[in-house]
Amino acid sequence: MVRRLRVAIYAPQFSEYSYRLAAALARHCDVRLVLNRKDANRQWNLASIPAAFRFETRIRDLSLRRSGLIGIPRSFVDIFGFRPDIVHCHEGPDYYTAALIEQLGLFRTPLVLTVHDTAPHSDGGSGTNFVEEQLRSRMRSAAAIVTVHGQSCVEEFRRISPDFRGHITSAMHGVLMVPPPGTAPILPVEGRILFFGRMMSYKGLDVFLDAVEILATRGVRHQAVVAGRGPEMTRLSSRMAELPTVEAIDAYISPADTARLFQSAEVVALPYKDATQSGVLASAFGNHRPVVASATGGIPDVVEDGVNGLLVPPGRAAALADSLQRVLTSKVLLADLAEGARSTAANAMNWNNIAVEVLSGYESLMNGPR
């Protein structure tokens, strides 16, 4: 009998992403997943995610503000006690992941590092200050394989980290916020546009509000829902209050309510000024909703213009309004794009297909020089 590969996934962040990846990898490998309790509690109900093959999940308190003095050492024991062939981590500016990665060198255990932001976006993300830059450099230098989301991200990673000597692979970002099997679908509200997420300036909320005003001036029937928390929500609150077609939800939104928000929209807007990839995009397609998105970073690797969404130049409110108007005023186009979103979710962004891509990287690592 051929021995199955043993893979430990360490995920202080990105709990839903990691759980869905672990569930898909379990078809091929023995998997132990270590999650951060705080992050896991805030994300999708993990117990509702289908898992055809069993794998181990350990949930620890990975924050010194909580019970990290106990949870962090236990999480290290969870990883090394599993005796993994490979450890798979996410890049993030936290000391405990960096410490774990450095311990891997003592055991000669190869590291696969998923890099979600190949370069820091304009107002947040790993590498935006000296400490985070140092942590990011340490993580990348320790990795045998770096995996990113899309060919554009591969090219950008090479530009940002020219000294990296490991392998760079690409695997699509899988769908998120997928309703559990058997859940009754929610029909979209006519004319509803969803703008969702952590409200940082790079997300382009100001550009979106400019586009909404243009739609109103043109007499295009619409309803804009802006949902999430963040500095831009505060900065632009008075402006949103003055726009009669904008509903602002400045609050924590549960995973179940998040899924309902996506399904109730006809289209999801992502007018990012700069970005590498987007969990909001993964959630839109996971709920079979098309997008109007900026052609920036790795987004065009996922969004095919006219197939599963429309692409617009970043920072161009008039172009964003034009594309939103096209979607909202053509039932045929809306239906075609929604079908494209569903097809992308079922194929390119299907976690089982992504697991095969990730496994190929694992196997090349195990079969090549260590």
What is the H or E stretch that residue 111 is in? strand 111-114
pLDDT in tens, 317-328: 999 999 999 999
- Contact between 291 and 222 under an 8 Å Cβ cutoff? The reply is no
* pLDDT score at 94: 79
Quick one: tokens of 335?
């239906």
DSSP states of 32-79 = EEEEEHHHHHHSS-GGGS--SS--EEEEE---TTTTHHHHHHHHHHHH
pLDDT tier at 66 (50, 70, 90 boundaries)? Answer: low
Distance of alpha carbon 101 from alpha carbon 88, whole angstroms: 10
Q: Render pLDDT for 30-52 as a digit per residue (tens, 0 to 9).
A: 999 999 998 888 877 788 888 99
Pick from 47, 35, 43: nearest CA to 11: 35
Q: Average pLDDT over the chain, rounded to whole?
A: 91
What are residue 30's phi and psi, to 5 degrees?
-85, 125
- The answer to whether 43 touches 15, Cβ cutoff 8 Å, is yes
Per-residue pLDDT tens digits for 82-117: 999 999 999 987 777 888 888 887 778 899 999 998
Domains assigned to the chain: 6-174+350-367 (3.40.50.2000), 192-346 (3.40.50.2000)
197-251 per-position pLDDT tens digit: 999 999 999 999 999 999 999 999 999 999 999 999 999 999 999 999 999 999 9
Phi, psi of 148, rounded to the nearest 5 degrees: -125, 175
- The count of C-alpha atoms lying within 13 angstroms of the C-alpha of 72, restricted to the half-sphere facing its C-beta, is 15
pTM value is 0.92
Band (pLDDT 50/70/90 cuts) for residue 307 is very high
Confidence (pLDDT) at 72: 83
DSSP state of 245: T
Around Cβ 353, how many Cβ atoms within 10 Å?
15
Average pLDDT over residues 70-79: 89
Check if the beta carbon of residue 289 is closer than 8 Å to that of residue 268.
yes
User: Could you identify the residue written with the tokens 């060919």?
Assistant: 151
Antiparallel, parallel or unpaired: β 291-294 and 6-11? unpaired
CA 313, distance to chain mean position in Å, is 21
